[in-house]
Amino acid sequence: MNRISTQPASVAPGHIQFLDSIQPPLPAGEYTLTATQVVKDLPGETSDPVYDASQQLLVDGPRFALNPAQIHMVYPPANQSGDFSNSLPSIVFSNFSLPWSREIDPSGAADAPIDGDTPINQVPWMGLLTIYSGDLEGTGSKAGTPFSVSVSELVNPADDTVLPPDLGKIYGPMDNKVAVVDLDISYFQAISPSLEELPFLAHSRVVNTDGKVMLGMEDDGCFSVIIGNRLPNAGDQNTIYLVSYEGHQAHLHGSTIETRYQKIRLALLGSWQFSTLANRGSFLNLMEDLCKPGRGGVKLLQMPDAEVAGELSPLAKEALEIGYVPLQNDMRVGERATSWYRGPFVAAPTREDAAYGPYHFSDHAMHYDPEYGMFNHAYSAAWQIGRLLALSDAAFSAGFFSWRNDYLKSLLQEAKRSVTQKQAQALGAEAVDGKRKRYSIVAGLQHVLASDFSNVDWPKVPGRANEDLPGLLSDKEQQAIHLSGDDPILFIKKKIQQQKSEQ
């Protein structure tokens, strides 16, 4: 007997369990419940009396229409466009036994007793048909257009070239309205699955999405799924019909139909549309095809040496192997030369070497091979890009500039403070003898005063370094004064005093 678990407790969180089908306890249809009671060993009776009772039962289920609340999701999503050209359409029902709730052949299991030996019905009674936009073109198109008829017209169409489903007994009023679609029989047989294929196009799943959103399926529990058998048309608007195959078991793909019929009438349970982008091939194929001839392949970032005409020197070969490419560049003098260049991506590991840096100019970072007369512009180009990118970002360049200057200023301030501190220490230090102490006091005081007074805005003596003093100083002396930064007046005074004393 079939067991039904409607709780996903047996499935680990984040897992999906696939089942062939979930059988309904009783498929839809008409049943007779019979009960027999035998009263045994009654005194005075030669045969045991038998009492029979029977009860007519009707198990109803969706037949010509579906409650939209039972549709959990459809794929490809309705009215969306995307890359669906390699995806089979599917529909998920929250009614977990819906696809098996009817026999595809309404008369098939009519008289079979319901017990533990009932064969499992794995043939779903519904399916998805993928209709391309071209199939819907024109009046009387091969895919037809959905319209509404009464139930009696579904089973007995007015047009006798239309093949109706063989539904057997109809429960319910015959004048109920049903959505139907008439398809060309040849077209229907070309796109519909065969009876043997149908079981593979339906399954059930048990989902436990505990703790995480799993593949867009937020809900836990049991679901039934119907898959279509036709791929959507690339770059096209596609329509999916959810149709009932009930009573059409002998009309599907591969079966022969009387030639007088031209159309087949299907009860339409639902439909949706979506657009498919131009075909691209599927992910895995594209990934595998990287290695096909004419494509790029998968390897290290290297210049293919097959591209180079002629014989390669060992040096050139090595350079290409480690990722260098020869490029033309204009020299400063206007000459055009070939130089090596290599980007940040290299085919061989490199070691970070601080001995390279820092370079203060891009020319610094140019390498030259005197033996072959070739420049290597890899690092100089990098330097230039770094500078240009920094310059192009005003916030960064200004920020870095002021950060560096602030840092330098604070460093200078700190150094001054430290120098002054040392002088102050020297000032107060215990001296070994009186002479040195006096010297320390004088020198220290001078420095302290100099540091403190240097911040005072003293009246400045105008510079006389470049004043022309003919006769007083020789050119050599002038130069010496200029270089030493001494006051020329004082120098002259000294010179005069010296001359006086000599006299």
Please give the Cα distance from 97 to 201 (Å, whole number): 14
Nearest in space to 378 (alpha carbons), one of 359, 394, 391: 359
d(CA 312, CA 348): 20
**Interface mask toward other proteins for 69-108; x: CB under 8 A:** ----x-xx-----xx--xxx-x------------------
Distance, first Cα to last Cα, the chain = 140
Q: What dihedral do alpha carbons 93, 199, 165, 27 form, nearest 10°?
A: -60
Judged by CB under 8 A, the chain residues 25 through 64 that form the site for other proteins are none
C-beta closer to other proteins: residue 10 or 156 = 10
Residue 138 beta carbon to other proteins: minimum distance, rounded to whole angstroms = 16
| Least Cβ distance, residue 200 to other proteins (angstroms) | 5
Q: What pairs with residue 202 in β-bridges? A: 226
Contact segment (CB under 8 A) with other proteins among 144-152, 155-163, 353-361, 475-483 equals 353-361
Residue 412 engages other proteins in binding (rule: CB under 8 A): yes
Kindly identify the residues of this chain, within the stretch 302-321, that bind other proteins according to CB under 8 A: 302-304, 306-307
Residue 48: CB minimum distance to other proteins, A: 46
Can you read off the two tokens belonging to residue 441? Answer: 């006091």
Q: Which of these ranges, 2-10, 31-39, 405-413, 427-435, lies near other proteins under the rule CB under 8 A?
A: 405-413
Q: C-beta of 2: minimal distance to other proteins in Å? A: 14
In sequence order, what are the residues at sequence separation of 6 or more whose Cβ sits closer than 8 angstroms to the Cβ of residue 345?
301, 323
Tokens encoding 187: 């077209």
Helix axes 475-484, 488-502, angle to 10 degrees: 130
Residue 454: partners with Cβ closer than 8 Å, 6 or more residues away: none
Position 454 contacts other proteins (CB under 8 A): yes
- Residue 112 or 450: which CB sits closer to other proteins? 450
Shortest CB 291 distance to other proteins, Å: 4
| 230 near other proteins, rule: CB under 8 A | yes
User: Cβ of residue 500: shortest distance to other proteins, in angstroms?
Assistant: 22
Q: DSSP letter string over 270-285?
A: EEEEEEEPPP---HHH
Quick check: 444 binds other proteins (CB under 8 A)? no
Q: Alpha-carbon distance 82 to 67, whole Å? A: 28
361 is an interface residue for other proteins by CB under 8 A: yes
387 contributes a contact to other proteins by CB under 8 A:
yes
Question: How far is C-alpha 476 from the geometric centre of its chain's CA atoms?
Answer: 79
Dihedral over Cα of 247, 204, 91, 226: its sign: negative
**Contact mark string toward other proteins, 109..128, x via CB under 8 A:** -------------x------
Residue 316, classed as helix, strand or coil, is helix
Helices (H), 454-487: 475-484
Instruction: Report the site for other proteins in 142-181 (rule: CB under 8 A).
Output: none
Smallest distance, Å, CB 390 to other proteins?
A: 4
Reference 126, options 61, 73, 176, 79; nearest CA is: 61
| Size (the chain), residues | 503
| Binding range to other proteins, per CB under 8 A, among 32-40, 255-263, 442-450, 495-503 | 442-450
Q: Does 212 bind other proteins (CB under 8 A)?
A: no
Segment near other proteins (CB under 8 A), from 44-52, 156-164, 259-267, 346-354?
Answer: 346-354
Record the tokens describing residue 197, joined without a space: 């294929």
Indicate whether 211 belongs to the interface with other proteins (CB under 8 A).
Answer: no
Of 68, 119, 344, 434, the residue at the interface with other proteins (CB under 8 A) is 344
Distance of CA 301 to the CA centre of its chain: 24
Out of 327, 337, 429, 431, point to the residue binding other proteins (CB under 8 A). Answer: 327
> In the stretch 461-500, what mask flags binding to other proteins with x, by CB under 8 A?
------------------------x-x--x----------
